[in-house]
């Protein structure tokens, strides 16, 4: 399997890399939060820009990304606008979503870009091409906050992401039972052993799925999301606890 290296972090080998969300609503909150993340033992930072109160001002958002990148100079930054239909804070049209992404690619300071799987494919391919020209890696993702699809469907969606030229393929699903958690783990293992030629990231959300955030090295998930001050998704484990668990599992 190919790995993805961003700054000094190699995704797809060794223990799952810990990524924490940045969810401040304005510049002062974001700067304070970014400085706090310097004290946190994480590998990457995800800026959930849909929380940012100036996100509709694309130029201001690009400038804010530079300020964040300056503070977190050694940490790779994943830029994510999570759409309303996939659990985000704000409804954006396709034109707004891809307009923001064009601005951030050309004038911002980011290392990875989150692109949702079920978006307009023409826009998606244009965005991926533009990002790759700037050496920005693509994390393609899909979220199901209601249920856990079948194992076959999870594998199919991850394979689709590979076909669309994502650098990292990510899926998050909601379990209704312990069997659903097993379905996610079985799908992860099958993807890793039979299909994946690049890093994959999978998780079962909520309290029920919490175990999936810790056992990625066993089943094949290359990153895991931990919470610093505020979680950005249900079931995120505090970073300090997550690091200790991952170290123990690696022994």
Catalytic residue IDs: 143, 170
**∠233-109-114 over CA atoms, to 5°?**
35
Cα(56)–Cα(42) distance, integer angstroms:
29
Residue count of the chain: 251
Q: In the structure encoding, which two tokens stand for residue 94, read together?
A: 């396709």
The continuous run of DSSP H or E covering 137 comes out as: strand 137-144
Residue 199, CB half-sphere, CA atoms under 13 Å: how many?
26
Q: Could you tell me if 184 and 156 are in contact, meaning their C-beta atoms sit under 8 angstroms apart?
A: no
Rounded Cα distance between 100 and 97, Å, is 5
216 Cβ contact list (under 8 Å, min separation 6): 16, 188, 201, 202, 222, 223, 224
Helix, strand and coil in the chain, % to nearest 5: 45, 20, 35
User: Could you identify the residue written with the tokens 């856990």?
Assistant: 148
Answer whether 17's CB lies under 8 Å from 45's CB.
no
Alpha-carbon dihedral of residues 211, 237, 14, 70, nearest 10 degrees? 160
């Amino acid at each position: 399997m190919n790995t993805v290296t961003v700054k000094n972090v190699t995704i797809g080998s060794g223990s799952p890399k810990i990524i924490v969300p940045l969810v401040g609503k304005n510049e002062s909150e974001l700067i304070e939060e970014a400085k706090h993340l310097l004290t946190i033992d994480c590998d990457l930072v995800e800026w959930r820009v849909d929380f940012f109160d100036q996100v509709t001002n694309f130029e201001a958002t690009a400038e804010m990304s530079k300020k964040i990148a300056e503070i977190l100079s050694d940490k790779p930054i994943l830029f994510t606008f999570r759409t309303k239909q996939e659990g985000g804070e704000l409804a954006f049209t396709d034109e707004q979503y891809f307009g923001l992404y064009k601005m951030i690619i050309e004038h911002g300071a980011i290392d990875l870009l989150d692109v949702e799987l079920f978006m307009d494919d023409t826009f998606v391919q244009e965005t991926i091409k533009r990002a790759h020209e700037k050496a920005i890696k693509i994390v393609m993702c899909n979220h199901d906050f209601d249920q856990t699809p079948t194992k076959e469907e999870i594998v199919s969606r991850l394979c689709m992401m590979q076909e669309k030229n994502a650098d990292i393929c990510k899926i998050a699903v909601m379990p209704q039972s312990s069997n659903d958690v097993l379905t996610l783990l079985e799908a992860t293992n099958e993807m890793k052993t039979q299909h994946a030629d690049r890093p994959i990231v999978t998780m079962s959300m909520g309290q029920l799925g919490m175990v999936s955030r810790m056992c990625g090295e066993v089943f094949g998930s290359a990153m895991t999301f931990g919470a610093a001050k505020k979680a950005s998704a249900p079931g995120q484990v505090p970073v300090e606890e997550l690091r200790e668990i991952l170290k123990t599992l690696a022994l």
